[in-house]
Amino acid sequence: MKLAIVGGGPSAFYVASRLLSRMPDAGLRVHIFDRLWAPHGLVRYGVAPDHPEVKNCTNKFDQVAADPRFHFYGNVNVGTPKPAAMEDAVQLGLRDLQTHYSHLVFATGCALPALHSALAESAWCMSALSFVHWYTQHPSAPPPPALNTLSHVSLIGNGNVALDVARILLTPPSVLERYDVPQPVLDVLARSTVRHVQIIARRGPLHVAFTAKELRELTNLPDASMQPIDPSLLAIPSGTTPTRQQTRILQLLGQGSRNTFGTTPKTWTLDFFKSPTGLEPPPPGESLPRLLLTHTAVNNDGRAIPTTPAPPLPTSLVIPSLGFRSEPAAPFFDPTTGHLRTKAGRVLGADGRPIRGVYASGWAANGARGVLATTMMDAYAVADTVMSDAADGAEVGVEPHPELPMNPSPSDDLPPPQVRVAAARVVTYPDWKRVDAEEVRRGELLGKERERMRWEEAQVFLQGQPS
């Protein structure tokens, strides 16, 4: 088996880990391709910098990469058009992989933000994904928000990502500077004039998507305080038995923040049962645009439905945080689900039949849901399916699928020739470990976790370092 995995995040490494540990055969070869130059996907470019413990999984990924049957090829874009900011990436088509590999796993995640029909991106509206990519220095290089011109930020949605964004805006830079926050980001945060963050949820406290841990961190910020919530909103409806998590969240919301509202330089609000209906430019003579809102109610199906208009909300910036979706240009994308066409980990062709030797795991297969442990368990299950199909002879005698016939007997351990020819632009795992060590070294000089490099800087560094 010679397996190509497209995507280099946690799902990809967990699939590789499972296969390498369960298949001691020296004939197994696993190659990961990632269009980002650095590995680990959301662990590097999605996890909030003040959650360093979540990144401990990279120790396991390092162990995976130490197996001689494993290779990582970063800065290689497979199967979709290259984003403009990653023009330097090596381009591969799926046919290039098909020729050189017996099996293929898509672990490409959900790389685009879910959009709100009433909120077009503009000078007053940027997605939470762009904001996260800014403070993690993602290679897509979104422009920094003009925080030195903002006073009021409205977050649409109440998942953990929304609370991450709120926490970054409300935490003093003197606290963040010890973590993995790039210096250019700290410089922007130091000039921030944001004083209030409003988190808008279309349903009520029983339906929030954030965890108690995330809420507790927000309520304990040193320089921020939460506006008290109307106790009637925290009452449990008759006939409802909240889960332990819901009970804890209701308790935390009832307790409020550590600091009394109004005694801190910054404040924040959880605004329930509201949904945006539009965003208007600033009225004549005013500086702030207006977020148009409607009150909502939850129907018998648990869906939020609009009721009556709510007063417009003057705000400096709107940040929708409504989840993520796969790229429509991705191979085998299903527009009805927002992710790839799959069944039990197997990718389906246009005719609905499984494509021989082609699989998908994690968010690419299931959509953007679950935490890191969920991703791990799904990746293990997909790896088990790959092994089971091979061991049970499920692939023997089956005609190759016309959409992507894989090579049943690749003979070498080499990547496609395009990768070999462009080796100077491709990052291997040993390359990454040298960059990793240098980032940590630079961070230690500044008294922080690490100081990140951009691709151009990493490339110069690698060219001057022995391999």
pLDDT of residue 398: 61
44 known member of a binding site: no
Task: Look at residue 341 and tell me whether its pLDDT is greater than 90.
Answer: yes
The average pLDDT across 452-467 equals 89
Quick one: pLDDT at residue 466? 64
Q: Note the pTM of the prediction, 2 decimals.
A: 0.94
User: Binding site annotation covers 159?
Assistant: yes
CA-to-CA distance for 269 and 129, rounded, in angstroms?
21
Contact 368, 323 (CB under 8 A): yes
The pLDDT score that the predictor gives to residue 61 is 98
Q: Is 161 annotated as a binding residue?
A: yes
Backbone phi, psi, residue 346, to 5°: -95, 135
The two three-digit tokens of residue 69, written as one number? 């049957």
Give the whole-angstrom CA distance, residue 115 versus residue 338.
Answer: 12
Q: What is the pLDDT of residues 363-406, one digit of tens each?
A: 999 999 888 999 999 999 999 999 999 886 666 556 677 888 89
pLDDT of residue 213: 96
Per-residue pLDDT at 203 exceeds 80: yes
Domain ranges for the chain = 2-111+325-427, 115-322
Which helix (H) or strand (E) segment holds residue 62: the answer is helix 58-65
Whether 214 has a binding-site annotation, put simply, is: yes
Return the H-helix or E-strand segment holding 455.
helix 455-463
**CA–CA dist 41, 15 (Å, integer):** 14
Q: Is 157 annotated as a binding residue?
A: no
Quick: pLDDT tens for 143-201: 999 999 999 999 999 999 999 999 999 999 999 999 999 999 999 999 999 999 999 99
Q: How far apart are CA 268 and CA 153, in angstroms?
A: 9
Q: What's the CA gap between 310 and 114, in Å, rounded? A: 24
Burial 152-166 (b: 16+ CB within 10 A, else e): bbbbbbbbbbbbbbb
Question: What is the distance between the alpha carbons of residues 5 and 206, in angstroms, rounded to a whole number?
Answer: 39
Could you tell me which CATH class the domain 2-111+325-427 is placed in? alpha beta
- Full DSSP string of 105-165: EE-----EEPP-TT---BTTB--HHHHHHHHTT-TT-PPPP-GGG-SEEEEE--SHHHHHH
CATH topology of domain 115-322: FAD/NAD(P)-binding domain (3.50.50)
The pLDDT score that the predictor gives to residue 127 is: 96
Question: Binding residue per annotation — 7?
Answer: no
Is 407 annotated as a binding-site member? no
Give the rounded percent of residues in the chain with a pLDDT score beyond 70. 98
